Amino acid sequence: MGWQGWYTIGVIVLTLGAMIRGVAGPDLIMMAGLFALAAVGVLTPAETFSGFANEAMWAVGVLFIVSAGLRQTGALEPMVERFFGRARSERSGLARMTPPLAVLSAFLNNAPIVAMMTPTVIDWARRNGLSASKFLAPVSYATILGSTTTLIGTSVNLTTAGLLIGAGMEPMGFFELLPIGLAVTAVGLVYLIFVAPSLLPDRKRPGEALGETRREYITSMRVEPFCPLVGQSVEEAGLRHLEGLFLVEIDRAGRIITPVSPDQPIEADDRLVFAGVVSTIVDLQRIRGLVPDTEDAAPAAPAGRLIEAVVSSSSPLVKNTIRAANFRTIYDAAVVAVHRNGERIPGKIGEITLRAGDTLLLQTGADFVAAHRNSPDFYLISEVDGEQEPHYDKAWIAVSIMVAMVVAAAVGILPISIAAPLAAGALIGTRCISGNVARQAVDVPVLVVIGAGLGIAFAMHKTGAAQAIAGVLVAAVGDMGPMATLVAVYTVTVILAETLHHNAAVAIMFPIAVASANQVGVDPRGFLMAITVGANLAFANPVTYQTHLIVYGPGGYRFMDFVKVGLPLDVLCGIATLAVVPRIWPF
């Protein structure tokens, strides 16, 4: 291995370190690594951009549009209501909801499925006197499990498909992952139904303590001089008996009054800081002269709807304060309140430094949902005042188009890279989804990670870096046989997936898996299928998978909740994967 190989390994180490530390989004870091390889001639210009011409990357982008089309038409809602209707306990509820979600996620991107399910699960749990926190994480896990069964189940699978084509290997079959996927899905669902409920937190009575959550927000309201509450005590103003509401403090010209006594008078220009659920915040806004103390000095937020949105890990808002991010200017919306896992956030709304997973209550104009529903900056959860009416009359059209796409790809009539764009075009042509929403549905950062990852993987193979890394792995465990090498490769993949972006993990491990299999004298295909599944099945870190982030805030989870439930699931799914692979692809 020449200097190019050592340089490539150095770039990869720096790339991994930058992603672990969260220096920037995975897309930006992967692009920086790719161009660092191109700058010194390790990759030619054609090789640098070859990953972005890969058909699998474009298939991923178009499948985002197909998923958005189904969501826009409300095609999945009847199924959701049917499966939820009669369950009255945690285990029966999980038994009814997780298997169909796993099946659905085999053919649709799991992020919109989880985004759609989250408010439905919360409402259903509340109606049945159950804790939503017992269900939301399993919903995320079930969609990930099901996505391992088909070629189009997740972008990770399509990334591997693209890498296989780029390496001149036989393309991945539509159901090639099915044997492993069925095994891990069966094991995972049994665990979610019978074991996970006892490990997940029970926070079904969040009003009893501020630390417990029912999407409990911290919000600030400013008392205008003409407000009828001026001169009244907190008790007289009726601010002590609103259900799910707690007056945390009063900021009076910089002087903080806490705790707030019932006879404390309210004065003009007071800033009242509340902890409360959405419904109570809506009630507060109906009081004349009590206005949201939003992130800037403007006296009124945009007229329109109240929206709940979760900040994504790729959002430019992460690590910025609301004011510094120019939130109102960029999004034409005002942040009314912020929820962070039941945590009391000090300071004014505009001074809050946002994190991935924070849930924002936004006051927006009428066009916000259409403009940002599929923005990579947010995972939109629900419209507080009633979600925009889906095009229910076109639901059957959207379902028919999706079924035709799946059948065409599964039986080999068309490759998925052609079937998916045709399906997206049909959805737009039949007005199931508008062209504007279709463009916004594409998760560009994911595509950038895939394209850059393909280029980095090529550089690892070209320079011999992959073979060198594989040599270290094989030297450590190779004497114990191919199975030990497979276990080592799979374990490293899961560790990377738990700390990095999943597509980045599979792209980095692909050439290493091929080289490791070659060095122990076995067909690398089984190794490649194993790392594909391993890159998907990482359940212990809520930050590295977007479906976990969608449920993290609304479920009131803490980081260790995912570790406690996810690590055993990682181990069980790993055992199932490693048990199946040698039987399908014998050593």
pTM of the complete model beyond 0.75: no
Give the pLDDT of residue 87: 60
**Positions in the chain short of pLDDT 50:** 204-213, 295-304, 385-388
- Return the amino acid letter for 104: L
Give the pLDDT of residue 366: 66
Number of domains in the chain: 1
Give the pLDDT of residue 526: 94
Residue with tokens 């089984």: 526
Q: Output the CA torsion 502→448→33→507 (10° steps).
A: 40
Does a structural domain hold residue 241? yes
Cβ atoms 511, 528 nearer than 8 A: no
CB within 8 A of 4, min separation 6: which ones? 40, 42, 462, 463
Does a structural domain hold residue 67? no
Quickly count: other Cβ atoms within 10 Å of residue 85's Cβ: 9
Give the pLDDT of residue 259: 79
Helical H runs in 73-195?
A: 77-84, 90-105, 110-127, 136-146, 155-166, 178-194
Nearest one of 26, 548, 53 to 45, comparing CA atoms = 53
Q: If phi over 0 gives left and psi between -120 and 50 gives alpha, with beta otherwise, what is residue 332?
A: left
CA distances from 473 to 88, 202, 238 (A): 50, 42, 67
Helix 502-519 × helix 3-21 angle, to 10°: 140
Residue with tokens 């990670």: 449
Cβ atoms 556, 451 nearer than 8 A: no
Does a structural domain hold residue 222? yes
- Return the amino acid letter for 50: S
Can you tell me whether residue 11 is helix, strand or coil? helix
Does a structural domain hold residue 276? yes
Q: What is the CA radius of gyration of the chain?
A: 25
Can you tell me whether residue 242 is helix, strand or coil? coil
- Its domain, for residue 228, covers 207-383
The CATH number covering residue 321 comes to: 3.30.70.1450
Q: Show the tokens assigned to 532.
A: 């594909």
Does a structural domain hold residue 272? yes
Does a structural domain hold residue 141? no
Task: Return the HEC string of 192-207.
Answer: HHHCHHHHCCCCCCHH
Does a structural domain hold residue 126? no
Burial class of residue 458 (count of CB atoms within 10 Å of its CB; 0-12, 13-18, 19+): buried
Give the pLDDT of residue 84: 63
Does a structural domain hold residue 508? no
Quickly count: other Cβ atoms within 10 Å of residue 324's Cβ: 14
Sign of the four-CA dihedral 396, 400, 406, 407 = positive
Give the pLDDT of residue 125: 76
DSSP output for 459-527:
HHHHHTHHHHHHHHHHHHHGGG-HHHHHHHHHHHHHHHHHHS-HHHHHHHHHHHHHHHHHHTTS-THHH
